[in-house]
Amino acid sequence: MKSSQLIARILLCFVSLGLWAGAQATGQNSPAGAGGPGNGQGPIIIPRKTPPPPHAGTLGPAQPTKAPSPEYTYHVNVPEVRIPVTVETNDGNFIGNLHRRNFRLWENGKPQKILSLNYTNQAPMTAVLLVEYRNTWWPFLYHILEASYTFTGQLEPKDWVALVTYDIKPHIVVDFTHNKQAIYAGLNSLYFPGFSEGDLYDSLAWTIDRLQGVKGHKIIVLVTTGLNTFSHINFGQIRKKVESARNITIYPVSIGWSIRQWLQENGYMGNMQDMDFIVGNSQLRYFAKWTGGRFYEPRFEGQYPGIFQSIAASVRNQYILSYRPTDTKLDGKFRKIKVKVIGNNGHKLRIVNRKGKNVKYKVIAQSGYRARLAVQ
């Protein structure tokens, strides 16, 4: 080998050793993003000088850059309000064949324009059978179960129904199902209740919250004595919860009138105890009134079939009024609603029987609702 070639190789080795020593002295490794390993071993790959395009790694061309939106925007969308309305005679017969022109609606005393009117006569129910089932005197439990069995018996194949019982808290016995035999089985599975407390307010609030995510109109058939013993919330709080409920109608069925009469006549119940039931029934009437339902207080067991047939008829035969409030404020305040029916001539609607005599009727609708908040 020529001396000049040997000298060149020796110089190249010194240069390589100098580069390696410099890298070790500074402790720098090639970054992983540049293609170099993380432990300082292996070849050094020089990274690209230009960054990848914004759409690298995605299919299709790069998306055009959008102009930045304004930093502060505010938009108010007034939700459409839907009010279920039942028009029936005092005997409970539904009055059909009414049109949008036959209805008048006011919100907080101001007339509203009805946008649409829908009518159903065979609509399936979406119902929760909410049953008080706690450790109490057995005749109350007997009547509660008998009423629950009677309600289940009139269900149709397309109805959605869930069975929920409550004592110190609510219990889902059967979730929503079309099969009424499953509801019967759920009722048959109820044996000895474990608690004597009946948290009516908590259980009703819990049920309303669970129904908020269910589409369409829902009903709660509340089979109860009306007593509330140990709830965490008070009546004022459950009242606001009921007022805020949307597309939910409550039908309370107060159990135990005949039992209370027997207890009073035989000296087992004083006036103060009976007052608790009276206050409870008053609150149940409030729940029914403000959601467009009806309150029932059967005095005899033979009234149960007629009561639940009446509830089913009210649900299956309904008018649904839709309107957008003229008050566009989303302030969360309660707004009163009044619905009235008129004849085609603009005067009071007149209903007559086959003999030509006037028939009294009533308009059943929820008495109000609580407006949404802007943050909702």
d(CA 287, CA 212): 17
Domain regions of the chain by residue span:
81-121+328-370, 126-316
Model confidence at 18: pLDDT above 80: no
- Measured CA to CA, the distance from residue 101 to residue 327 in angstroms comes to 22
Q: Write down the pTM of the prediction.
A: 0.68
What dihedral do alpha carbons 112, 114, 119, 124 form, nearest 10°?
-60
Going by pLDDT thresholds of 50, 70 and 90, the confidence category of residue 157 is: very high
Is the alpha carbon torsion for 169, 173, 176, 180 positive or negative?
Answer: negative
Work out the pLDDT band at 4, boundaries 50, 70, 90. Answer: low
Average pLDDT over residues 349-370: 88
Average pLDDT over residues 154-170: 95
pLDDT exceeds cutoff 80 at 364: yes
Between these two residues, 247 and 143, which has the higher pLDDT value?
A: 143
Average pLDDT of 48-63? 41
Q: How confident is the model at residue 11 (pLDDT cuts 50, 70, 90)?
A: very low
Q: Is residue 332 within 8 Å of 373, Cβ to Cβ?
A: yes
Region 87-94 average pLDDT: 83
CATH 3.40.50.410 fits domain 126-316: yes
Distance, CA of 264 to CA of 284 (rounded, Å): 22
